[in-house]
A and B are shown apart, each in its own frame.
Chain A
Amino acid sequence: MSAGSLYDELQRENERASRFLLIGSVLIAAVMVWVVAGALGVPVLDPLVGVSVTAVGTAVGLLFLLAAMRSGPSIALRAAKAREVPREAAPELHNLFDEVCVSAGIMGTKPKLYVVDDPAPNAFATGRSLEDSHVAVTTGLIERLPRYELRAVLAHEVAHILNDDIRTVTLAVATAGLVALLADVLVRFMIFGGGRRGGRSSGGGGGGGAQAIFLVLGLFAMILAPLAAQVIRFAVSRQREYLADATAADLLRDPQSMVNALRRIDEDHTSLREFEVATAHLWFEEPNDTKAENSAAKMARRFATHPSIGERVERLATLNAGTVATDAPLPPPPPPESRGYL
């Protein structure tokens, strides 16, 4: 089956992207550590000292940040004002979620289900592992999407959990945080460290010259490193959206509902009332406004964490060639009184 091999190809691509993210972000962090150490006067041009200081510094930094990220999921949920919904409050929503979980074979470790009070149709997944995973949907999504399209969106979020995307994103955020922290150290050093440097160089001889070069390097790194970390994160999270769409369609054997859900959400122009830019990559649809014609929207498109919905629909249609329609009129939205969920 050609769809199967295409799907395998996507999955391999996702694994490659994970490695790229891991190696790329660790390299950026290592370069930053090296530059910061040099600026602080450590003789990093000596190969032995340079390599060992950089390796130890990077490892310690990443470990600290990963430890700090343990609370990441609960922070993301709180930032979105998500509240957990018990089954009694939303039996039909839980029914849909169960259908997704049974197809994925994770009934034993079902993620927790949350609702966000927001009219914009959107959803996100977060967590550290399958055992500690959370899926949140907005009230707008529940109100606007018919049963099977809502199920497709839930499956997309579960797919992020199955594909280990939540953990990779956590790592990416941790690295970006480490780089930002190191850039901050450099800034502080440049502002407050200048006087001390003069005193030390008078005693130590030629160290001052190399340090000055590292300060210039640091200036470049300060500007470029956070940008590079962002670019890596975005490149990777776009790939993940395609794969999550494909995994969701495959899990439920229902690509048409996935396509319809994407098209319906694309037609909707309600913006999320509240979201943190730092959590943009978590959502089902890009929460930044990328549709308007003004320059802010143009910039948002360039830095979008998600591919355009048109592209996502096209990829799904290619994966499921001949079985989905991308231009048929959408089924009617659910009548308001039918949603006894909330």
Chain B
Amino acid sequence: MVWFLLVVVLLLVGAAAWAIGGYNRLVRARVRIDEAWAQIDTQLQRRHDLIPNLVNTVKGYAAHERETFEEVTAARAKAISVQAPGELAEAENGLTQALGKLLAITENYPDLKADANFRQLQEELAHTENMVAGSRGHYNAAVREYDTARQVFPTSVIAGMFDFEDREYFEVETVEVRQAPNVSFE
């Protein structure tokens, strides 16, 4: 009888340790997602901060492309105003498109492309877009890991018990400024 009780107690302790381990794993995965999201936020902020400067510089050489400038400014304002990941991704993608147009325009102005300030901005923009892409990649990897832990047995049982909620992937596109730095330094 004593042995039987001892076995039961040991089993209970084992089950509790296992549950705590699984719970901690899920919590850690969720914290990683939050950290990754904070990083995306920082990088998008950097992107938004860069745009007025970029628009002003281009304006100096191509003042009559007013339509594109307005489009970029409006897209930026919208991206700043929304919060939820889904809407934010949509707004940021709108901004990506507008930025792409702006960069396409700059191709027609050789004086602008030779401007030292603009070249500096181009490196900054390339860097910013890469930072956005990098933080997005890390965020999505963190969500994938959390999702796996949430759906795979045995942690799925604990996820169900403690209500570990669904997390969204963040699909935001970035402007290809790949060639820019090399071209601009020629």
Binds B, one of A63-71, A91-99, A123-131: A91-99
Q: How far is the CA of A104 from the CA of B39 in the complex (A)?
A: 12
Q: In whole Å, how far is B12's beta carbon from the nearest beta carbon of chain A?
A: 33
A338 to B141, CA, bound (A): 35
Interface residues of A in 67-98 (CB under 8 A from B): 92, 95, 98
The answer to whether B134 touches A334 (Cβ under 8 A) is: no
- Asked whether B137 is an interface residue with its Cβ less than 8 Å from the other chain, the reply is yes
- B75 at interface by CB-CB < 8 Å: no
Q: Does A201 contact B (CB under 8 A)?
A: no
Q: Which of B105-113, B123-131, B151-159 lies at the interface? A: B123-131
Q: Residues 173-185 of chain B: 1 if any A CB is under 8 Å from the residue's CB, otherwise 0?
A: 0000010011001
Q: Which residues of B contact A103 (CB under 8 A)?
A: 133-135, 137-138
* Interface, chain A (partner B; CB < 8 A): 92, 95, 98-100, 102-105, 107-108, 146-148, 251-253, 331-332, 334-335, 337-338
Of B130, B141, B185, which is within 8 A of A99 by CB?
B130
20 more contacts with CB within 8 A, not counting A103-B137, A146-B182, are A92-B123, A98-B127, A99-B127, A99-B131, A99-B134, A100-B134, A102-B43, A102-B131, A102-B134, A103-B133, A104-B138, A105-B142, A107-B39, A147-B181, A147-B182, A252-B134, A253-B133, A253-B137, A338-B181, A338-B185
B165: interface (CB < 8 Å): no
Label chain A's interface by main secondary structure. helix
Contact sample, A vs B, 12 pairs, CB 8 Å cutoff = A99-B127, A102-B39, A104-B138, A105-B138, A146-B182, A147-B182, A251-B137, A253-B133, A253-B137, A332-B182, A335-B185, A338-B182
Residues of B within 8 A of A337 (CB): 185
Q: How far is the CB of A236 from chain B (nearest CB, A)?
A: 26
Complex Cα distance A283/B186, Å?
Answer: 31
**CB pair B135 A102 closer than 8 Å:** yes
Within 8 Å of chain A (Cβ to Cβ): is B32? yes
In the complex, residue of chain A having the shortest beta-carbon distance to the beta carbon of B178: A148
Contacts of A147 in B (CB 8 A): 181-182
Minimum Cβ distance to chain B for residue A276 (Å) = 34
Chain A residues near B141 (CB-CB < 8 A): 105
- The distance from the CB of B175 to the nearest CB of chain A, in whole angstroms, is 15
A338: chain B residues within 8 A (beta carbon): 181-182, 185
What are the 7 tightest A-B residue pairs by CB atom distance, in nearest-first order? Answer: A103-B134, A338-B185, A102-B134, A105-B138, A99-B130, A95-B127, A102-B135
CB of B26 within 8 A of chain A?
no
What is the distance, in angstroms, from A334's C-beta to the closest C-beta of chain B?
7
